[in-house]
Structures are given as structure tokens and as C-alpha cells.
Amino acid sequence: DVLVEFYAPWCGHCKALTPEFAKAAKALAEQPTLVLAKMDATAHDPPAGFDVQGYPTLLFVPAEQGAAPIPYDGERQAGPIAEWVRANAKSVA
């Protein structure tokens, strides 16, 4: 299960999300099957199937074969992000 933040280094919203995303990653660290990752979408093209229209874009890929990315549209705070990832994770019992 992976939540990817696609960001632009110059984006104010992305800069504001950075500490919250890091706190969410720390809160989920006890689950080795949950990964939070970041990708500079101005330096690298998002993979096929990842619809990135603005910054930041948060897309979650559940740990199941053929899973499509699911957009995260919730609050941009650590607690809600971590809760949403846990609720949508397929690798956590």
C-alpha cells in the first residue's frame, strides 16, 4: 500500500503539506507494508495511470494486483491522512 505525493518544489500548498506528510509517515512507520512517498512531478513524469493535474496531488495505490490509484481528497493534516491510509490499506489486517 503506497500513498504518493506528487509535488512541485515552488508550490506553497506543497510546502505547507511537507511537515504534515512527514508526521503521517512517522505515524504509519510501525506498519512496514504502508509506504508514503514523494515525487517531484516537475522533474519526473508521473507513471502511466497517475492523473496529476495540480500540486500537491496525493494518490493511493492499494496492495492488490491491478489496483488503480485512488485520489486522496481529505484534510491536509497528518492525522486524517494516516487514518485514511490505514482505512484503505489492503496489507493491514
What residues are annotated to the active site?
11-14
Classify 15 as helix, strand or coil.
helix
Torsion of CA 24, 60, 83, 39, to 10 degrees: 10
